[in-house]
Copies of this chain bind each other. A is one copy, B any other.
């Protein structure tokens, strides 16, 4: 059972000015320890090493997604749109607030190595024995499952799902505004109030009034800019690569029976694959950084070096290539070995598209990673058009952008052994 709070509570928020809490359930969820833990997980992973302002947490982002969802619903209710199912309000708000609750430290970098998925952990936190689960069950016995199904996109009412998860969902709107604010770039700013005004619930879908097309173009361009300027920034990529290498190396060592000088608590269970929700919740970025600081003094020099690089921001340099030719890379790898480097670690090839972002792909197939609902315009005659049919701009950014690829490598040992490298390899790595 949910109750209205007798007095609205507010959080001061730099992006939305204030975040308004009106429901006891929302208030209680915010105060659970699983939600408070999001304060110890950064929203943008290692981006703070490129943009020093980007130190904001998933806690503030989660509040922001909740607030945008609240504003959308409040607008639907104020205008008495008949296609909005009023009884879904609390469900949508809870799903908005909790959609990221399963994120672990540096998720995007570490999930690959540990083969873990934050979506599954979110589900587990909602459904297993946690404070979050207890608060949700006070609404009704099946409420935790309902919230989980909205986040998992299987809830039967698609309009509720699309608030949290679509090409124009509250999640994206908040992170663009928030990441722009904290990094200090202009690119992610768009007119949130205008977009809220042109959104409509319509026949079980979320659509946009046709007159709002230019506002949507502006929002998509903001996204396009943020991806290229912030999320795909090569210096951030460099730090993510090092982070991934640290965990890859630790796993190799662990699996080969190496004895770590210090290896407390949950990291062990993460490495051997026996981790439970209770352990998982102890993983946060403070903990990971502390482990890295310890590992910087480990006996394995590769692990120690990588941790030192991460902590003291001694990142790999990179070169940009359209087509390097396999034989040159092969030659370089050989020479790396000859001067004591490990090409598996010290020469990492990267495409920006390996990343968990999509700009806007209207034709993504259901079941794939990009199965987000497309943006639909509501025409004057009540027909619908997918936005890229009408907008040249959107069409131009919808295709797969052909980016260049990068090779990341440590510059210091190459400089130290430059005389042992061939002229071609020196030229390739700008030495």
Number of this chain's copies in the assembly equals 4
Question: For the complex, what is the distance from the CA of A185 to the CA of B289, rounded to whole Å?
Answer: 31
Complex: A191 Cα to B218 Cα, angstroms: 15
Neighbour of A229 across the interface among B14, B189, B214, B287, CB < 8 A: B214
A221 to chain B, nearest CB (A): 5
Contacts of A274 in B (CB 8 A): none
Interchain CB contact under 8 A, A185 and B12? yes
Report the stretch among A108-116, A152-160, A389-397 that lies at the interface.
A389-397
Q: Which residue of B lies closest to A18 (CB)?
A: B193
Given the complex of chains A and B, what is the CA–CA distance between A181 and B181 in angstroms? 9
Q: Which of B12, B52, B399 lies in contact with A59, CB distance below 8 A?
A: B52
Contact of A14 among B39, B182, B187, B284 (CB under 8 A): B182
Q: Give bound CA distance, A397 to B31, whole Å.
A: 37
Smallest CB separation, A389 vs chain B (Å)? 14
Contact A17 B401 (CB under 8 A): no
Which A residues between 10 and 29 are near B, CB-CB below 8 angstroms?
10-15, 17-18
> Is there a chain B Cβ closer than 8 Å to A130's Cβ?
no
* A282 at interface, CB cutoff 8 A: yes
Which residue of B36, B60, B282 is within 8 Å of A313 (Cβ)?
Answer: B36
Tell whether A405 is near chain B: CB-to-CB under 8 Å. Answer: no
Contact A13 B289 (CB under 8 A): no
A298 on the interface (CB 8 Å rule)?
A: no
Interface residues on A, range: 35 or more
Interface: A356 (CB within 8 A): no
Interface residues of A in 46-75 (CB under 8 A from B): 48-49, 51-53, 55-57, 59-60, 63
Which residues of chain B are within 8 angstroms of A56 by Cβ–Cβ distance?
A: 53, 55
Chain B residue nearest to A194 in the complex (CB)? B18
With A52-B59, A287-B293, A393-B397 as contacts: A313 and B228 at CB distance below 8 Å:
no
Given contacts A18-B197, A218-B221, A392-B396, 16 further A-B contacts (CB under 8 A): A12-B183, A13-B184, A15-B184, A33-B312, A36-B312, A36-B313, A39-B48, A39-B49, A55-B56, A186-B191, A221-B393, A224-B393, A282-B293, A284-B289, A286-B287, A290-B290
Query: Footprint of B on A, CB under 8 Å?
Result: 8, 10-15, 17-18, 31, 33, 36, 39-40, 48-49, 51-53, 55-57, 59-60, 63, 79, 181-187, 189-191, 193, 197, 214, 217-218, 221, 224-225, 228-229, 262, 264-265, 282, 284-287, 289-290, 293-294, 311-313, 392-393, 395-397, 399, 401
Sorted nearest first, the 7 A-B pairs with minimum C-beta distance are A14-B184, A396-B396, A286-B289, A286-B286, A33-B312, A290-B290, A14-B53
